[in-house]
Structure 1
């Protein structure tokens, strides 16, 4: 029997609408200024944390193979059919931004709209739908 921490997964998935809203507003109002640059930066960072946290809960709960990196968390969940190829490609690119955002923040180009920013809200919403479907399917809800 699996122990999947559905409550913690749901808490993180529930954060997606606000993150998506921030990304949408940043993309729609982009002016290259520091304020929207920081909004984009933080929203991308939070998106990374959500998908890696949820991915880790799924790996632990469904006893999938151990992950060795953020990219590996996404790969394992994709292999287990948690989400489709389109979402996987975008999430793999997204988690690759963690090091530049968190460790190399001093060289992040805040004046540029990142290509993921305008498309990520739909990806994150699709991720949430597919994760919920996967959990329901696997746990027989």
Structure 2
């Protein structure tokens, strides 16, 4: 039988949902580049989203004994292969996780408009990720 830490997965998903809900008004109002605090908030929200995708993906991979990933993008690819997420969501998630290196190591070169554009472009897909994971867990457990 599979040993999937559904409690930990749910904690991550709920936190991701809270973070995305918190920044939705910034994105809707188009004032993403107004000040440093707003910019940092959006960067952190994007970082939390991509780390949540990786953490949840790793919990699923470990719990369901899926193939080992080689990168953050590979985690998304495995979730797509295992039908955890749809093609549309996987495409968005790949774009999001590819921002990890700039956010973590090249933060001096991160452009606020790139962060807000990425969040705006993929917001709808990001907020569907938790429900797709939950549906997958219902189906598989």
Same fold, TM exceeding 0.5? yes
**In structure 2, distance between residues paired with 1:10 and 1:134:** 13
Contact 2:46/2:115 (8 A) holds in 1: no
Corresponding residue of 2:47:
45
- Whichever structure has more helix as a proportion of its residues is 2
Number of residue pairs aligned between Structure 1 and Structure 2: 139
Structure 2 unaligned residues grouped into runs of 5+: none
Q: CA deviation at 1:47?
A: 0.4
Q: Whose relative contact order is higher, 1 or 2, with alpha carbons under 8 Å and at least 6 apart? A: 1
Partner SS, residue 65 of structure 1: coil
Deviations 1:99-130 (A, max 9, x none): 00011111111355532212444222211111
Corresponding residue of 2:126:
124
RMSD after superposition? 1.5
Structure 1 unaligned residues grouped into runs of 5+: none
Partner SS, residue 117 of structure 1: helix
Match of 1:100 among 99, 102, 107: 102
Deviations 1:83-108 (A, max 9, x none): 10110000000000000001111111
Partner SS, residue 114 of structure 1: helix
Corresponding residue of 1:18:
18
